[in-house]
Amino acid sequence: MNQADLIIRGRRVLLEDNVGPASIHVSSGRISLIDSFDHIAEGVELVEVDDDSMIMPGLVDTHVHINSPGRTEWEGFETATRAAAAGGVTTLVDMPLNSIPPTTTLQGFNIKLDDAQQSCYVDTGFWGGVVPGNTRELSSLFEAGVVGFKCFLVHSGVDEFPHVTESDLRVAMPELAGLGAMLIVHAELPGPIDEAPNTTTPHDEYSTFLQSRPRAAENEAIELMIRLSREFGVRVHIVHLSSADAVPMIREAQQEGVNISAETCPHYLHFAAETIPSGATEFKCCPPIREQQNREELWHGLQDGTIGIIVSDHSPCPGSMKLQESGDFLNAWGGIASLQLRLPVIWTEARKRGFSFQHLARWLCSGPAQQVGLHTRKGKIARGFDADLVVWKPEEKFIVDKSSLLHRHKISPYNNEHLIGVVQKTVLRGRKIYDDGKVGPVPVGEFLLMKEK
C-alpha cells in the first residue's frame, strides 16, 4: 500500500486479541499498517490520543429507522447520521419501513437513495422489505444493493408495510434461498397478543402494556422461524430479541445447524419493567422491555454467544406521538431512539458484569459488520480495513442530557441516566466526522450497496 497520509496512535488500541499501544497508519482512508507506538513516519499528519482514551473500531449499527422520505418529520438521514457520528457509529443500516414509500420495491429503493444523497455523515446501507405479494421485487432489490430483507409477523405500526403470514413466507422463502439473502424478522405473532388477558389496569401503568405483549408472542414466532429456516435453508435473523425464554430454543437450533442468529438492544439490557414509572411512555417499544430477571438471562445469552450482536433499533417519532400528557402506554408510538448512546449504555452494563473490551467490540462492531457481509471492510482495526475508529474514555462518567442528543426528537428514556464511557472523536475512512462535541463539517458518508454478494 501507499505511504500513510495519517497516523493515529495511542496507548490503548483495541485490536482483535489485545489492547495495547500501537500506531495506526492510514492511507487513502484504509488502514495500511498497524505498527508499534513509536514507529511513525516523518512528515505525516499525526493524531495523538490521550493515555486514558481507547481507540476502538467504529461502531456498526444494523438496525436504524430513519423514516425518510415520507416521514422525515420523525427523523431524517442528516439528523440520524449526525447522531450516529456523535455516538462513535461509522456504519449504519437503515430499515425498510416508516419511510414512504417503503423499501419494498426497486422504485421505492431508488426514491430512498435519492432522498439520502449528500445527507449521510456515516456510511449507510439499506435493508429491503418482504411484504405480502412483493416476491417479484426481491431479486431486483438485492441486485441493487440492499443487504438483505426484513419482515414483520405482526402489524408493523405503519399500514404501508403490511406483515406476512406463514403462507406469505412460504412464497417468499424459496426466492430468498435462491438469492442467498438473509431474512431478518420482527418476531411477534398476533395470536398471543390478541389472546392476552384484557386487563382492567389503567393505560398509564407499564404492567398493562407489558401484559398486552406476552413473551408467548415472541416465543411462538421464533419457533415458527426456526422451522421455516430449517425447511427452506434461508438464513434467518431475529431482530430485537426481548423474551429470554427463546434463548434456549435458538441455541439448540444453532447447535443443530439451523442458520439462525439473534440480536438484542440496549434498552432490554439496561432497563427493567419493575422500575419503569407510570405514564413514562418514552420506555415503550415492541417487543417490550421485560423484567429484571429476563434482562439477566439476555446477558447470559450474549455471554454464551446465542445472541451475537447488540444494535440500537433506533426508532424515533415526533414527541406528540408518545402521548406524554396522558401517559397512555397502549396508544403511544412504540420505539426508543438510542443511536447516539449504544456504546456508553452497553459499556456501563457490560463492565458491571465483568465483560471485556473484546466482547464489546464483537457485539457492537465486528458482529454487526459480519451480519451484513461487511466483515472484510468494517468493524475491526486491521490492515486493509476502512480506517473507521472511535476514540473514547471508558472510565469517564456522564449524565445524559437530552439536549446533547442530535437525532431529531429528543425524547429519550435515557435522559438523566448515569452512564460510563464518553465518545471524543469519530473517524470515518480516515476523516474526522466528530471531534469534541462537533460533527462535520460536511456529510462524507457513502452508500454501502452490496452488489457483490
Binding site for Zn ion (CB under 5 A): 313
Q: Which C-beta is closer to Zn ion: that of 138 or that of 265? A: 265
Q: State the minimum distance, in angstroms, from the CB of residue 65 to Zn ion.
A: 6
Q: State the minimum distance, in angstroms, from the CB of residue 239 to Zn ion.
A: 6
Q: Which C-beta is closer to Zn ion: that of 220 or that of 313? A: 313
Q: State the minimum distance, in angstroms, from the CB of residue 151 to Zn ion.
A: 12
Q: Which C-beta is closer to Zn ion: that of 8 or that of 60? A: 60
Distance CA 371, CA 363 (A): 11
Residue 237 buriedness (CB in 10 A; 0-12 / 13-18 / 19+): buried
Q: State the minimum distance, in angstroms, from the CB of residue 352 to Zn ion.
A: 26
Q: Which C-beta is closer to Zn ion: that of 313 or that of 388? A: 313
Q: State the minimum distance, in angstroms, from the CB of residue 147 to Zn ion.
A: 15
Residue nearest Zn ion (C-beta atom): 313
Q: Which C-beta is closer to Zn ion: that of 313 or that of 349? A: 313
Q: Which C-beta is closer to Zn ion: that of 184 or that of 228? A: 184
Q: State the minimum distance, in angstroms, from the CB of residue 419 to Zn ion.
A: 22
Q: State the minimum distance, in angstroms, from the CB of residue 187 to Zn ion.
A: 12
Q: State the minimum distance, in angstroms, from the CB of residue 123 to Zn ion.
A: 20
Q: Which C-beta is closer to Zn ion: that of 267 or that of 380? A: 267
Q: State the minimum distance, in angstroms, from the CB of residue 58 to Zn ion.
A: 21
Q: Which C-beta is closer to Zn ion: that of 56 or that of 66? A: 66
In contact, 178 and 301? CB cutoff 8 Å = no
Q: Which C-beta is closer to Zn ion: that of 209 or that of 355? A: 209
